[in-house]
Amino acid sequence: MQKQLHPLDPLRPEEISRASQILRQSQPNEHIVFRVITLQEPAKSVLLPYLEAEHLHQPLPQRPRREAMVQFFSGSSENFYQVIIDLDRASIVSGKDLRGYHSYTDFEEQTRLEQLCLFDDRILKVIEKLALPEGAVINVEPWTYAPDGVEDAMQRLTMCYFYMSLSSNADSNHFMYPLDFCAEVSDDGIKKIFKLPGTAEERVQELRVEDIRRFDRRKIHSGSEYHPALKQDHRTSTKPYQVWQPKGPSFRVQGQVVEWEKWRFRVGFNYREGLTLHDITYDSRRLFYRLSLSEMFVPYGDSRAPYPRKAAFDLGNNGAGCDCLGHIKYFDAYHNTLKGQPVVLPNVVCCHEIDDGILWKHTNYRTQNAVVTRSRVLVLQTIITVANYEYIFAFHFTQAASVRYEVRATGILSTAPIELNEQVPYGKVVAPGVMAPYHQHLFSLRIDPWLDGQKNSFAVSESVPMALDPHTNPFGVGYTTRCDIIESESAHDLDITKARTFRIINENSINPISGRPVGYDIVPSPAQMLLAHPSSFHSRRSEFADHAFWVTRHHDGELFAAGDHTMQSQGGQGIASWIKGERSAGPAGQLYHRPGPLSVRDDDIVVWHTFGTTHNPRVEDWPVMPEERMTVTLKPNDFFERNPSLDVQPSRQEDNKSVLVVEDSECCADALKFRLGEGKL
């Protein structure tokens, strides 16, 4: 007998099949194309009693119904709909008309667009006129269309850029030869072909055959390949590094539940956010109801058309492998085909432990006795590839009760053609005829807390100097902190000059030592916010990207900081709109309005942190970029009565098996002399 699924377990393959079958039976005469079949998480008010009973080891109430959220096309992509399906009762609970919105793109659609371009007579004529070198291979890079006010965004559009490879190896880096034309493509075929600008002064224009210039063969160069099969000059100095855990890992996994070093949480995965974490506790104390990456926006800064159309919501537009060492637990996930059949996504999340150096240490200088404890960290990691870029997303759990969320960006720069010996003010030449444009990566981390209970508050603290006073601050060295507890939904920014800190607190749970509310600090990843003008489509479409922090009252269905449907979005949806008073009544409801921001003090709140990087490429980022790392930390502040890692065992040689390195007598003779006091300075 199959074990009953937990309300938060991702949909199983048989549930995906069941959902598609129920929808087909309800519309037997329609041609249905399934875009999304995913878990519809239970409403928080329904799920909390179930989780509470779990924590207290009490008899469980009736399990919330298993529901699936299904998005689909009926006939054509213009007829876009969403339904919520009750899998237990085999019925459709609700529906929503999504016509006017666009579904995310996927590998199947991108492959179709590539083939459409490569077999188009006009494109083939352009390629012929370019007179490319013998053996050239053409690659097409479809980019989801970002509205710029020129075209009607009601029609589904894609911008396709063209690149050339001069190697027969399919892994050759085609971004080293960007070609100077692109195509605007709809579902019906190629609408327009443009000549791309090659200088700062040039402007885009529709391409005429008579204007096509032969490919400048002076741009042919070496040194832009990265794949091992195409590079032979690898260093030989790096010796193997192996992780060995003779007694196995310290974590325990049962289904979707992970337990490790007083931590307990559930692992989820969906098409939009990728890795999600639920019901997170430490030493049986409730910390977070849900943690997830809500959105990722990558706007490009090249102001010449058509490049303003390069503005990718890499989660909302594209949907969401692992490289780990040691004892590894992999989690699979399930998606659906266009026909509604389940498909396995193997190893989408990996779980493993890493050594993270010193956790804490002290040497008593009187006795010279030292105590050192090494830090062990549990890592939950997932990786997505979005065309040229890779993103590595990881939650790091520490023995000191902190959670770090880490994003690493790597991969290949998106490139554009440029004339030889030209420069532009919005990008960097990284190879002959190859320009990498400036761009930003902006992320929104969604933090749904329940610190010692469901009612929490959001506090902003600053460190400020005390006034010079003969009684309270006679030497002028005193400083203090001031704290504001935020009353209503709002946005907040960083201020390094005041050491501004952001904290989630529970005013109903007081720390017996400090006498202050228990809390968790959100240690931000400092970043420049969106650079695009407020009137731009970039800004209108990414409502979260103007401020480092937002706090809202929890509403079921408000998961995505830029709104539910970012593909060719026009703006007016997302976190700023919610605060203004435009909210939908749950994930399947209609838009409703109510005046003013809602109260968030001592309530069920959600905190959103915007972070990222302004990436002005370097030559050293080419041909493949060393990882760029961003980290956000959730750290206890007055939550415990002492250092929560005080009980971690001190480091011992019999466990660590550290080995002294014997120094090379030839290369290190001088160093040994200095160490023995024989050298002279």
Three-state DSSP class for residue 72: strand
Per the annotation, the verdict on 330 as an active-site residue is no
Cis check for the bond before 465: say yes or no (omega within 30 of 0): no
Query: Phi and psi of 198, rounded to 5°?
Result: -115, -5
- Evaluate whether 491 touches 550 at the Cβ level (below 8 Å): yes
Measured at the CA of 545, the angle between CA 539 and CA 548, to 5 degrees, comes to 150
Q: What pairs with residue 159 in β-bridges?
A: 143, 184
Pick the catalytic residue from 145, 271, 289, 389: 389
Alpha carbons 78 and 22: distance in angstroms, whole number? 22
- Evaluate whether 181 touches 129 at the Cβ level (below 8 Å): no
Alpha carbons 496 and 498: distance in angstroms, whole number? 5
Per the annotation, the verdict on 104 as an active-site residue is no
DSSP notation for 86-140:
ETTTTEEEEEEE-BTB-PPP-HHHHHHHHHHHHT-HHHHHHHHHHTPPTT-EEEE
| Distances from the Cα of 40 to the Cα of 15, 161, 185, 432, angstroms | 12, 36, 33, 50
Measured at the CA of 402, the angle between CA 397 and CA 406, to 5 degrees, comes to 60
Tokens of 250: 């310290």
Alpha carbons 227 and 221: distance in angstroms, whole number? 16
| Distances from the Cα of 308 to the Cα of 281, 295, 576, angstroms | 44, 20, 23
CA nearest to 18, candidates 92, 111, 94, 87: 87
Alpha carbons 527 and 521: distance in angstroms, whole number? 18
Alpha carbons 561 and 543: distance in angstroms, whole number? 7
- Evaluate whether 503 touches 481 at the Cβ level (below 8 Å): no
* Type and span of the H or E element at 50: helix 44-55
The set of residues, in sequence order, having a beta carbon less than 8 Å from that of 557 and lying 6+ positions away, is 584, 586, 587, 588, 589
368's torsion region: left (phi>0), alpha (psi -120 to 50) or beta? left
Query: Environment class of residue 565 by beta-carbon count within 10 Å: exposed (0-12), middle (13-18) or buried (19+)?
Result: buried
The set of residues, in sequence order, having a beta carbon less than 8 Å from that of 536 and lying 6+ positions away, is 308
Q: Are strands 434-437 and 479-485 parallel, antiparallel or unpaired?
A: unpaired
Pick the catalytic residue from 302, 314, 546, 556: 314
Sign of CA dihedral 482, 485, 490, 492: positive
Written in H, E and C, the secondary structure of 576-645 is HHHHHCEEECCCCCCEEECCCCCECCCECEEEEEEEEEEECCCHHHCCCEEEEEEEEEEEEECCCCCCCC
Alpha carbons 60 and 476: distance in angstroms, whole number? 60
| Distances from the Cα of 4 to the Cα of 92, 97, 330, 439, angstroms | 22, 33, 22, 47
Q: Which amino acid is at 218?
A: R
Q: What pairs with residue 171 in β-bridges?
A: none
| Distances from the Cα of 411 to the Cα of 384, 387, 392, 523, 628, angstroms | 11, 9, 10, 27, 10
Alpha carbons 212 and 126: distance in angstroms, whole number? 7
What positions carry a catalytic annotation? 314, 389
